[in-house]
Structure 1
Amino acid sequence: MTKVLVVDDETNLVELVQSYLVREGYEVLTAFDGLEALELARANPPDLVVLDLMLPGLDGIEVCRQLRQFSDAYVIMLTAKTEEIDKIVGLSVGADDYLTKPFSPRELVARVKAMLRRPRSGAAGLSQPEVTPPHKLGDLVIDELRHEVRRQEEVISLTAREFALLVTLSAHPGRVFTRFQLLERVWGDEYYDDHVVDVHIANLRKKLETEPGSLQYIETVRGVGYRFEVRDIK
Structure 2
Amino acid sequence: MKRLIALLLIVALAAAGWYGYRQYAAQQAEEDAAAQADAEAVDDLENVIWASGNLEPVKWAALNPVGQGVVGQINVAEGDFVDAGTVLIELDNGVLRSQVESAQALLAEAAAAFEKLNAGATPADVAAAEAQLAAAEAGVSQAAGQMLEAQAAMDAAQAAVTMARRQYAEQASHPTAAERQVAQAQVAVSEAAVKQAQAAYNLVRGNPQIGALPESRMLYEATAALEAA
Q: What's the TM-score, normalizing by structure 2? A: 0.17
Higher relative contact order (CA 8 A, sep 6+): 2
Higher gyration radius (CA) = 2
Instruction: Return the TM-score normalized by structure 1.
Output: 0.17
Please state which structure has a larger fraction of its residues in helix.
Answer: 2
More strand, by proportion: 1
